[in-house]
Structure formats: structure tokens, C-alpha cells
Structure 1
Amino acid sequence: MEKHFFDWKEYILENGLKIVSIKKDTELFSIHLGVNVGAVNEEENEKGLCHFIEHMLFKGTKLRTNIEIDQDLEDRAGSYNAYTTYTATAFSITALYDELEPSMEILSDIIRNSTFPSEEIEKERGVILAEFRNSYDDVEHFSFNKVNSIGFEKSPLKYDILGKESLIKSFTRDEIVSFYNKYYVPNNSVISIVSPLDHEEVYEKAKTYFIDWQKKDLKKNEVIVEKNLNDEVISHKKEIEQNTIVYLYTFYNLTRDEELALEILNHKLGESANSILFRALREDKGISYDIYSEMDATDYIKTLNIYCSASEDDIFEAKKTIDYCIENIANKNIKIDDKNITLMKKVMKTGIASILEDSEGLCNYVLHQKLMDRKIDEFSEDLEALNNIKSEDVYKVAKKVLANPTIHMLVN
């Protein structure tokens, strides 16, 4: 992929806000605003504040009530969303391109002028607690949270992004506002915009609505990263239909080329519909419907997980099968060759093409590349680097990463 397939321009306002305009032949626009703060930035007594603030930014500003915010977003006749991750808090609107300017105004209002009404805090506290408790009923979500709580001693990954229930119950308005004032500033934020408009026109519109957002001194505590603990724990939960296994591995010290080799391994191991784990547990033994692996190469996270669900009668056989597959990879009894590497390059090209076709997906991709301070066109370097990766590189990274996992089993 050459740069001309992807037309963008970057700007930085005087207040430090980074703006990326992406010009695309489309009837739509998509605007994403991301603040470079997430659950990894929360102190021990702040677990859940990012997610709480994400909710509260829709609950009233100096110009709008919460009802007016909801109505004005609805009037754009498109889609809007907000979410919190371990590393970021993001807000987005996608609609017809002539709705871009009013959408900028709304986002500017909620990010700059939120008032955090006390009565709305109490209402939203109840909503978040309900969301927190619902997560207990989601066996997959519960299992991933449990393996993280076992696998880390000090890392913020130990905690659910939703936070700690006791803290959600106790956060005061002053604590919420103080955290907001500390991190939700332009010099800690990025805006990405996909539209058919010229870059300078997009920049001028964005400047109009965000130039008065006040820059502040920004100090962040160092994020703790740690290798997962080599441990295996069995938990019991009554009245569940499916038992689960989750493996957790970390890979903080890999080079980018090694991470690409790990992506090839992950695709072969459990990401594809014809993966090693899929064939072993579903096709050959018929003991699991839901089996996959996934990796996250985001800064401060760097995890690879294997997830499997099975019946109570089959769950321990499933674990033996997973262990057998991993051992066979380490011993090179499972073939990973140039065909797999060529396939992975095709998978990456397909993924890139899909992103470029989709205004919202492209906008989100650019946002997170900039939040992580990575090159927007990093994918082109990755595709080139794949040409130099050999099967031996995949086996080496398998030995390096697929060792000493944290394992959690949830059984009836």
C-alpha cells in the first residue's frame, strides 16, 4: 500500500491538540475524539474513574442539559458512541458530511464544558453499578477479568476497566472533577476526521471549536508493566452452562518484527476459522464450540490469550488438548511455513483494505495510531517487514511467549 491510497494531513493547535484530517471520497464524515487516558492511568483509589467520566460527559454542560445532548446527537441522524479502554477514552460521531460542523460543536461542548451535576452523578452511579454486576453474568467477560486478577500483582491490567465496585459506590463529585481536570486537556488529546472536504477546510472548522480548549500542565505517573505470573487457578460458579479456560501470556520485550511473527503464530494458533486449536478441539474432538486466541500489541498491554468454553464433562480434556497443541508448536511438530507467512500478509492486506473502505473504521484506526504516537502508515512498514520473517522466527517467538502462562478455569 502506498501513501497516495490514504490521503491525510496532520495539524497541532497552539493548545497542543493534535488533529488529523483524512480526505476520502464519501458522502459521510466520521469524527473521533480521543483522550490519552484510560484504566492504566488510574491510581489504586481511582479504579473506574475513566469509565465514570465517559458516562458523565453526556450528562450536562454549560450549554446543554443531558436531554438536549441526547437530542442534538440524535438529530445528526447518524451514529454516535463512547468507550473506555485500558489506554484511552474516546467519543465518535458518524453521519452525512454536512453534519460535520454541528457534530464538532457538540463534541467540543461535552469535552470542554461538562458540569458534572450532582444529581446526574448519583443516577449514573446506579447505571454503572448495574453494568458492573451484569458483567458477572457474562461468563466470558468474567473469565478474562479473573485470569488478569490472578496473573498480575501490581499491573493495572489486574483490574476491570469498569473499576472496583466499592470505589464506584464511593466516588465523590470532587474526585471525579479533579481527575477530569487533570487529564481531559487538549495537549493529551487527538481528533481524527474522515470527510470529503479539503484538509484546510477541516482544520479551520476544528480550530473554530477547539482552539479555546485550555492547555494545562500534564503529569502522568509511570504505568507499571509486569510479566504475568505462572499460576493455575480453578474457580467455581454455580448454574453455568459452559465452563471456561483462559490462558494469559505477556510479551513486553519483543521487537516489532517479533510481534509480527507472533501475529502469524496467533493467526495459525487460534485466530483463524481453520486454526490449530479450532481443528483440534472443535473439528477433531467436538468438545468446544467457542475456541480462539487473540493478541493485543497496544502499549502497556502486550497480552496473548487463549479462550475456550466446554461442558463440565469436557473442560479438563479441552485443557489437555490446548497444552498438547502448544507443546507441538514448541517442538516444531506442527508445521508453520512460508505459506502461513504469505497468508498472514494477505490477511493484513485484507484488513487494511477493509479499514480504508470504512470511514468510521479508518477514523478509529488513525485516532489510536496517534494516541499511541505511532506512524499513521505503519501498516506499510509492517507489510514490508513480513517479507523478511521466516518460519524459524515464528518458532522462536513461540518459545519465547508461549511459556509459563497464567491459567484460569471456571467450572460448575
Structure 2
Amino acid sequence: MRTISVAVAICVLSTAGLAAAQPIFHDQFDSYSGTYLAASSAGVWILDGCNDGRLGGDPFSGTKAVADWKDGSTNLRLGYRNRHDLTAAEMANAAVVHGGTPTCVNGTDDNPLVFTFYIELGPKTSNVYYHLLNIYTELSCGSERAPTPMLIADCTGKIRPHLNLEGDGQPHRSIAIGQIAWADTDPCDPPTSQVPQNFRLTVYDGLRWKILQSPVDMHTCGAYNFVTATVKTATIDLELKSFYNGSTCTGDAGGNRITYTTSIAREYTGPFTAVKIGGIPRDPADGTGCWGQDNAPVNAYPTQGTDIDDVLLQGGEAYDIPAPCDETGACCLPDRVTCQQVPASVCAGIEGATFKGTATICGVGPGKCCADVPFDADFDGDVDMADFAKLQRCLTIGGGTVADECKCIDFDDSGAIDATEVEKFALCASGEGIP
């Protein structure tokens, strides 16, 4: 099975900018103000009865009379949409910017990409049916989306679909977070209702779906659920603050919010170019069927007050990578220094070039145009005194930065060539071990 793995760091030819004060993206249609959210709003990220789950096509937007149950009255929301493609100007607000015109963003351990939003599982101040709803938001590359393949359960004659948590068996350039009732692996239980239900945060990591129940039970609430996803190099730190209403959420009865935190591994570690929301289509085969108020026991229908809002993306690192969502990778040219970001087929047509793999990035981790044997500076297949001479010239123990021609010797990508590299060099030169 193909896996997607990118260790994003500073590209060889990139320049790093200073931390930006502005967020990359912020849609704040409502603002939190005490016990309840503001009654009026100009728009919201929301699913309607026909378009939920259909993120593979063009983004849609427009005016729609959607009931807003936030304060118990009907306040019409005037706009809705389900996808936003990040612009170069927005991505230039990342904490660190590499290159000229940004085309994508990502999170690293040094500069995490922080993604926050709230999920309203309404209506009104509490919804006793919130565990029957499907709604999530995504960070993805291009038109990619988290897959929602279905399995079928026969509940004593009642046919109930439920989400295949293993996905479709293929990695996707997407990270999705929300609550999905259809993630219920046993839709026949409880026998009194026999419908899929779930009241825990559910995450797609780029390969499979996870219900966040262990080691931390990320319990959602039938009102407002504030989510913070801190995307790092290989992990995602998740925080869920559930609005406590005294009946449907666990916790101390005197508290307004209950906070849960956990961390998961990233299966997709590549960059992002878009923010989206999704649901589950009525017909998993084609997604053309429309849910209605009378046939939607498991959905995120507007009049149920289910939406995502206060979508905020900030921090992270931005990169100037041509066609970042294509099946490209680092192509090392015969000089073993020059690198191009191209598809494998293009790299194969360049005599003497080496393709480092899909989704690798020039100058980063496995995308470095370095010899297969570490510290083989002259590419002759061994580590000897000639290579040691270059190591000496590249040392930064007395200060200074790592020159471009010395990047491959910086074994631990620390930005310095010091005792660590000398120690590792000795192992390679003596034949005791190649790290």
C-alpha cells in the first residue's frame, strides 16, 4: 500500500520570514459572548440537505434561508459555503514563509499549524438527538477529501449503513475532524432504536477514521463544541471544550465547559491548500439524493441548527512549491545538488536523475539530493578521508550557518554541523554502522 510521508522543513533555496501577526484564514460569522452565541449572523459554514458530503465537486455558495436556533428564535443566516481555497496572500501570513509566492501551508514541531472552530450540535441550547448527527471539517490539499465508504448492517430486518473506519484502503491528502454518527461500528445497538449514533470526536488522519474514545474519551455535547487541532510535523494535538448543559454531557454540574485533550499520529504529513466542511450524502454511491426533515434521522440538516463556525487557521509554515497537490516529488539531478519538484514520469526522462518519491520535497528529509550512504560527499560509494576533508570545511562549531553545499552533511537537520555529525561520520567511516 502506498503511504504519504513528508517531513517538512526549510527548503535549500528558501528564505524564512518572521512570525506573522495575522491569521492565515478566519471566518468569524458569530463571536462567543458569554453564555450563548450572538443571535444574529451574516453567514455560516453549513450543510444543506442536498450538498452535504459532496466535496469532490465545485464549491458552492449563495444565499439561503437557514434557521438559526442559537437563542431559541429563528434568525436567518444569509450565506453558506463548504469550501475555501487558501490564497497566496492568506498563506503569506503563516508564522514562517519559505520562498516567494506561497502555494501551500503545513505544520511543524517548530511552527505548528493551529486549526480551530466550533461545532454546533443544536438546536437551541441542547439537542437530545445530537448523537445522531454527521458533520466534520477538513484541511486538505486541492480537491482531495476524506473518504466515507459504507458498510451495511442488518438490524433484524432494518438495513443500516455505517462508516468503514478503515477508509477506502488508500491514503488521502486530508485531515478531517468532527462528529460522525455513522462512525458507529454497531448500529444495531441499542436495540430500541437500531440507528448509528456517536457522541465522540471523530478524526480522519489521512488513512483511516478514528473515534477518539481511548485513552481519552473526547465526549461531544448537544450544544457547542470548541475544537483546537494543533498540527505538527508528525502528530496532531487535539483539544475539545464541550459546552456543559447539565444533562447530555458528563462532568461536574457546576462547570460551563469540559476540556479534553489527546494526541494522534498524522498518516498524511503533506501540505494543505484548502479548508472544507463535509457530511454524509444520503446515497453513498453517488451523493445525489437530498435529505429532508422527514427522512433524515442521521444527518446535519440546517433546521436542526447544526453548523461549523469561527473557523480559524494560523501559524504553520508556508511553501512556494509548484503544483503542491499533484503527484510530484523531489527529483535529484545528476549533479547531486540541483533538485526539481516534478512528477515521477518527468524525472524518469532526465538522464541520471533520481526520483525520491511521491510527496517528497526538495531539500527536505528524504527529498535531499544526498548520497544513499550518509557523509559520502563525493558520491564514490564509500566514506573516507576525502569526505572527512569536506566535513572539516563544513563544521560550524565555531559559529556560522550551514552552507548549501554542506546541507547533506547536517545529519540531524539541526542547522549546525558539530559533534553529532563527527560522531556519526566516524561510524560510517569505520564500517561499524550506517545510521
**TM superposition score category, shorter chain reference:** under 0.3
More strand by share: 2
Q: Normalising by structure 1, what TM-score?
A: 0.28
Q: Normalising by structure 2, what TM-score?
A: 0.27
- Larger radius of gyration, structure 1 or 2? 2
More helix by share: 1
